[in-house]
Structure 1
Amino acid sequence: MPTVLITGATGFIGRQLLAELRAEGRPVIALSRNARRAHALLGPGVRVVENLDAIASETRIDAVIHLAGARVLGQPWTAARRRELMLSRTGTTARLLALMQRLQQLPRVLVSASAVGFYGASPEASFEPRDEASPPRPGEFQSDLCAAIEQEAQRAEALGVRVVRMRFGVVLGTGDGAYPMLARAARFGLGAVLGDGRQAAPWLHVDDAVGLVRFAMDRNDIQGAFNAVAPDGATQARFVHALAASFGRRARLRVPAAPMRLPMGEMASLLFDGQNAVPRAALAAGYQFRHPKLDAALMDLAVRAAKA
């Protein structure tokens, strides 16, 4: 069966995607900075490379899934951190393009991870729907970062590779990402509305994150930007109350925005501003969401967390 190359295979989405592909017998090559750790996480049957130069030019790679990149939320966005965030994504994309150019047969598709931060964090973006045709906001770091990621990925189109730019919202799953920390707070009654809570909180169940990547990978008629968000858009207040309810609790706390914006700087926009992204392209293409509704998705995750 055709080989799939995955960057970020040891990450949250990458691990679940890889597990599904391996269950179907698909050969997978995983790019990782630490091959020993990757083998321990991914198990036998997965070829792990630390450098793309290790892939021979005669290797037949059908699809490239580019999920790698340093975490955006966490360390302050100093000038050095911004360069690291940029290079962790665009640098790997450039190396993937170099690999494609020396392969004897081009991959059929590149699915490259971006984010809804592409649309910036203006008040308008939190209320007015943002579909795949909506513009970025130059001068805002999260928008500039996503735009640079996508521009680098689009270079593969000149080689004749179909490119899908997947703009993820917050992906929710029990294995990693934002959900475990948020769920822990909710279980102890510490869920909090951030600011006024009216900011949009685009979300996606991890099952649909993997589902959309595979949908984009397998459908030859799909290309361009794709908002990887659930159709049931939510404000941050609605999200935190629904999360608390999934554990039979209430969210009573509130974190004011003003005291947080100064120490966090522009990174505070990730928490106190939002983008009302809508999955227009996915719905138009006929993707069937496995978890389209927020309350049901959170209940599913609460059950999974209880069983873990």
Structure 2
Amino acid sequence: MTDASEGETRPAILVTGATGFIGRALMAQLQRERRRLIALSRDGRQARAMFGPDVWVVESLDAIPSETRIDAMVHLAGARVLGLPWTAARRRTLLDSRVGVTQALLDLMRRLAQPPRVLVGASAVGYYGATPQSSSSEPLDETASPQAGQFQSALCSAIEHEAQRAEALGVRVVRLRFGVVFGRGDGAYPMLALGARLGLGAVLGSGRQPAPWVHVDDAVGLIRFALANDGLRGPVNAVAPDTPSQERLAKAMAASFGRGQWLRLPAAPLRWLAGEMADLLLAGQVVAPRAALAAGYVFQHPRLEPALGELARGGQSGG
């Protein structure tokens, strides 16, 4: 299929992972604004059916001619981190699905007659590692260091290191470190909400571990803010200012459906079942969105309980 906007002179926004949870919400907003869009997807047929004829869908970045005008790239592609156990093969898949696409984006940048103005890449708060700290710990800002010897930290560090290479090409690079993204369409929220509705929401381990999160409206909002704000660069914590404990999250989720919360799951069986991946559930980070706030971003959903109430009522606007 050729470029749906062939002959267009407007510069495009290229989005990888466009059919994923955050990608769909972002694309919907950009399509409503009639932006010129290029979507990279492994399943071109599905992507074309999803976005329609106005989006140029490519299954390989090699299909993009060097004279194509691309103003911005948003890199959201990557296999799900939470799910299958972190075997050696799975770790390789998680790394390759992110770093491999970043390398292909860098190759495209070098090939284009003019490189993009900005690359916005998705990383995660896992960059800071997992520590069983209480939610009252001093918040981590974007200057905090990664944790040696932890896979999630090493994965995020590798993702960000590869993205930073675009700076040598004169590209402004923003590395968004996402917390858990809550939205009705996909991600963690639907399963958590189902458990809460059924009275099966659980406190995991001690329940004191921090649970950084962000509403999908703000996930998309921060991407758009990073695209538009020429003064923003480097790491940006894409989390709500309100970091609850996991116990508070479980209780608030249940309360949003008018239910109580009483179940507890001990840490030991979770670690036995999931190994190091259990750190995503049993340990966390108190993370502050200092860079975003300092740059002037205003969160649509800064507090947990109102955000969960809005989602429970079906009021999500972002996807």
With the length of structure 1 as denominator, give the TM-score of the two structures. 0.97
Give the unaligned 5+ runs of structure 1.
none
* Alignment partners' CA distance in 1, 2:114 and 2:77: 23
* Alignment partners' CA distance in 1, 2:13 and 2:248: 38
- Letter aligned with residue 120 of structure 2: V
Give how far 1:125 is off.
Answer: 8.3
Query: Per the alignment, do residues 143 and 125 of structure 1 end up closer, same or farther by CA in structure 2, a change over 3 Å counting?
Result: farther
Give how far 1:124 is off.
Answer: 4.3
Equivalent residues of 2:125, 2:287 under 8 A apart: yes
Give how far 1:69 is off.
Answer: 0.1
RMSD between aligned residues: 1.5
Please give the residue correspondences for 1:69-80 in structure 2 after superposition, counting only pairs within 5 Å: 69-80=78-89
- Letter aligned with residue 32 of structure 2: A
* Alignment partners' CA distance in 1, 2:206 and 2:186: 27
Q: Does 1:166 align with 2:176?
A: yes
- Letter aligned with residue 187 of structure 1: R
* Alignment partners' CA distance in 1, 2:218 and 2:247: 23
Q: Does 1:89 align with 2:98?
A: yes
Give the unaligned 5+ runs of structure 2.
1-9
Q: Does 1:284 align with 2:290?
A: no
- TM-superposition CA deviations, 1:220-252 (whole Å, max 9, x none): 000000000000111100011111111000111
Which of 212, 237, 260 is equivalent to 1:202?
212
* Alignment partners' CA distance in 2, 1:242 and 1:66: 32
Equivalent residues of 1:119, 1:125 under 8 A apart: no
* Alignment partners' CA distance in 1, 2:122 and 2:79: 12
Residue 162 (structure 2) aligns with: 152
Give how far 1:208 is off.
Answer: 0.2
Q: Does 1:191 align with 2:201?
A: yes
Please give the residue correspondences for 1:35-74 in structure 2 after superposition, counting only pairs within 5 Å: 35-74=44-83
Query: Per the alignment, do residues 160 and 306 of structure 1 end up closer, same or farther by CA in structure 2, a change over 3 Å counting?
Result: closer
* Alignment partners' CA distance in 1, 2:269 and 2:138: 27
Which of 3, 9, 18 is equivalent to 2:12?
3
Please give the residue correspondences for 1:21-32 in structure 2 after superposition, counting only pairs within 5 Å: 21-32=30-41
- Letter aligned with residue 118 of structure 1: Y
With the length of structure 2 as denominator, give the TM-score of the two structures. 0.94
Equivalent residues of 2:141, 2:290 under 8 A apart: yes
* Alignment partners' CA distance in 2, 1:245 and 1:122: 27
- TM-superposition CA deviations, 1:14-35 (whole Å, max 9, x none): 0010111111110100000010
Structure that is richer in helix per residue: 1
- TM-superposition CA deviations, 1:70-89 (whole Å, max 9, x none): 00011110000000000000
Equivalent residues of 1:9, 1:18 under 8 A apart: yes
Equivalent residues of 2:197, 2:259 under 8 A apart: yes
- Letter aligned with residue 122 of structure 1: T
- What is the count of residue pairs matched by the alignment? 308
Equivalent residues of 1:28, 1:46 under 8 A apart: yes
Residue 118 (structure 2) aligns with: 109
- TM-superposition CA deviations, 1:187-209 (whole Å, max 9, x none): 11111100110000001000000
Equivalent residues of 1:208, 1:291 under 8 A apart: yes
- Letter aligned with residue 153 of structure 2: S
* Alignment partners' CA distance in 2, 1:262 and 1:187: 27
